[in-house]
Chains A and B, each alone.
Chain A
């Protein structure tokens, strides 16, 4: 069956790139959820992963490097009924966008954040990313990375993010299920997805990710924050799956004064000039 979100054509990705795997996973997830095309808005920053929205047939806001999260919250504020999905890379989300990542988790808009994590910068040709592992050599970090990599899951759990998960491009079925859960979840949902960069990361390859990851066991309780944090800190092998869900958090757009009285998106509303008149009268 034709996938309504599929946009055929050339991409700017290398042959064998993990981005293709993630794209196929996301396309299936969107179709299986039965979402309508004009209900979905994609947001991304800049980078090879951030080009993803270009290759779906959806509305998108392809903004600035590191700045996918603020417009996503702005879109939810303007029209909460839109299904907002971010796809961006590890550099965009955890490096340039690091401050927004922290505060978007606190803000908790109902969005899904899919981060392509290949532990390297692709578009700028092979420099270290915030998730590059210690010792990883690049044309800039010629003696190897010495800075501690970001652990996005542990960070998100520490901030009490409402949904925290990790998938892998090499595990399409289970990752698709995770992404479907993330999109259906109400609140900020992070899905970090491991992928290989075939051009600039010769260490963390498809094979490497297969060998250094495993899925959390079926009996794992994702409501236990302490356990989630502990499991997120496991370094080798690294678990995949849903680490943590907190459904008791206030959702950003629900709490805005704009939606206390009406659920209508802002574009449908008219300014109440009578109330404005009252505000002006109050200045007497």
Chain B
């Protein structure tokens, strides 16, 4: 096989040794990218490499071109890059699809019977697989090649394969191990011959890290917050949280219901909260549009609610499988009439876990809807991170036992009425979408009850403002330039800042985007230059900051082509 893989022109000098390898797998939907990825990432992480993986894909079940980016590094990696060190295209369409990211340094390996590219490093995957008895083995050969390049401990690879295929019988396990071995040998040669010239240090403590994506972090955070039920209608990219919770439901004893539409979803969740559940709904912009009427209902009946919204580009169906931060205003203003709400925008999986946990306690305490705003890039990306510490977490329940004189909307000093539920105590719990009295009954007493109830709801906003989560300053406390951003841009900005290494530039990340933390203005005033970075067309969050602080944000870096920011893009922005 040596003659296939050792073109002298591809040999590189040692000064080019990479301490990180960025691998991209690309091919049609259904060609097996996901099965390669799922085995590979587990093995690599467990052998002590830092890993980050993200994907971009088309809204179709078969065909098209999808790609998965896997960064393997000796230091933690958490963000999307343009750079590709090793590209493994599974068909001819993959090359033009990724042309902007392929550089002279990108090594392209593939089977020349399937992929036609002048600088292709040929590996006869198909022939090798057929010799093993089935073309299906080509994917495992590819896994072996990558593990060989990285010098993954061989035993770990074979154990992973065994675990993966044990249900299919010993023969299948043996054949797959054979396939992986043949790939591994090729990978070792590619690395030794410096065709793929990388030496990536391992750190054995990484095997104790968890490998978790944004959807799983939100789902597990929900459970940590006492979530006992999930209602949803499948919609990409919100489905991941729904799927994850459904997967945990037997173990945790959860209510899981796929409802007929998002209107039903939100109304069902409110019914569940009313009767004492702690429910989450998960959706994307289009589905959330249908929920807005019931969001207003949550405001009227002062029901807690937790909504996870994974954003994708609109309007309407938009780009179903792509990413954007375009629904901030939708969530901020969703629902007719005034009522308070809280909006979180996690910047990484850890923050997603803990914010979602908090969302349940806050929703319950203040009896308001709380939103977790993520996006496709965030939900689909995963990486290794230290195990979350859950020991100090508490599920705060604020339900009271009712008596005969119980009033659901009792007027109190701070606006919060003790929340009873039906069946717990002797009282009746009456909630009404109409303007209502303290007892929860319809009223048209305009100057008396209406004003009192409206003011009561407003009082809760003032309470929420007081406890608003502060923004996180990353970088030097004395800065000249301040970057402002929210949500999934966080890690990409941090990585770009590290590369630039300019102590005058700091970054203010907002885990809570509404109500806007009071200190926001003070942070902004300290800067000579402000840069707003948002993955949408207009800078929706920036508009809110301008409105609330009176500070103009004219320098806006916006992206809205359906892809997340890359480290390289933001590096250029910060170099200016």
Q: Which residues of A contact B (CB under 8 A)?
A: 12, 37-39, 41, 43, 46, 51, 53-54, 57-64, 67, 69-75, 77-79, 81-82, 99-100, 102-103, 107, 252, 256-262, 265-267, 269-273, 275-281, 283-284
5 nearest A-B residue pairs (beta carbon): A74-B271, A71-B271, A267-B276, A78-B275, A70-B267
Q: Which of A61, A269, A272 contacts B274 (CB 8 A)?
A: A61
B399 and A267 contacting across the interface, CB-CB below 8 Å: yes
A258 and B425 contacting across the interface, CB-CB below 8 Å: no
Asked whether any CB of chain A lies closer than 8 Å to the CB of B426, the reply is: yes
> Which residue on B lies nearest to A68, using beta carbons?
B267
Q: Which of B257, B297, B425 contacts A38 (CB 8 A)?
A: B425
A74 and B270 contacting across the interface, CB-CB below 8 Å: yes
The distance in angstroms between the C-alpha atoms of A8 and B494, with both chains bound, is: 65
A266 and B433 contacting across the interface, CB-CB below 8 Å: no
5 CB < 8 A contacts A-B: A71-B267, A74-B274, A257-B249, A262-B253, A279-B251
> Which residue on B lies nearest to A252, using beta carbons?
B257
Tell me the number of A-to-B contacts counted with CB atoms below 8 Å.
215
- The interface residues of chain B lying within 8 Å CB-to-CB of A67 are 263-264, 267, 294, 297
Classify chain B's interface size: 35 or more
- The interface residues of chain B lying within 8 Å CB-to-CB of A61 are 270-271, 274, 301, 431
A64 and B223 contacting across the interface, CB-CB below 8 Å: no
> Which residue on B lies nearest to A74, using beta carbons?
B271
A63-B297, A103-B259, A265-B276 as given contacts; A284 in contact with B210, CB under 8 Å: yes
The distance in angstroms between the C-alpha atoms of A102 and B261, with both chains bound, is: 12
A77 and B388 contacting across the interface, CB-CB below 8 Å: no
Q: Which of A70, A257, A266, A272 contacts B271 (CB 8 A)?
A: A70
A60-B430, A266-B255 as given contacts; A273 in contact with B393, CB under 8 Å: yes
- The interface residues of chain A lying within 8 Å CB-to-CB of B98 are none
> Which residue on A lies nearest to B267, using beta carbons?
A70
A265 and B275 contacting across the interface, CB-CB below 8 Å: yes
A41 and B422 contacting across the interface, CB-CB below 8 Å: yes
Q: Which of A59, A77, A280 contacts B390 (CB 8 A)?
A: A280
Instruction: Provide the B373-408 mask, 1 if CB < 8 A to any CB of A, else 0.
Output: 000000000000001101001010101000000000
A38-B428, A99-B261, A258-B254 as given contacts; A74 in contact with B275, CB under 8 Å: yes
Q: Which of A63, A75, A256 contacts B275 (CB 8 A)?
A: A75
The distance in angstroms between the C-alpha atoms of A46 and B259, with both chains bound, is: 21
The distance in angstroms between the C-alpha atoms of A273 and B271, with both chains bound, is: 26
- The interface residues of chain A lying within 8 Å CB-to-CB of B208 are 284
Asked whether any CB of chain A lies closer than 8 Å to the CB of B131, the reply is: no
A71 and B270 contacting across the interface, CB-CB below 8 Å: yes
- The interface residues of chain A lying within 8 Å CB-to-CB of B255 are 77-78, 256-258, 266
The distance in angstroms between the C-alpha atoms of A280 and B442, with both chains bound, is: 47
- The interface residues of chain A lying within 8 Å CB-to-CB of B425 are 38
A77 and B272 contacting across the interface, CB-CB below 8 Å: yes
A82 and B275 contacting across the interface, CB-CB below 8 Å: yes
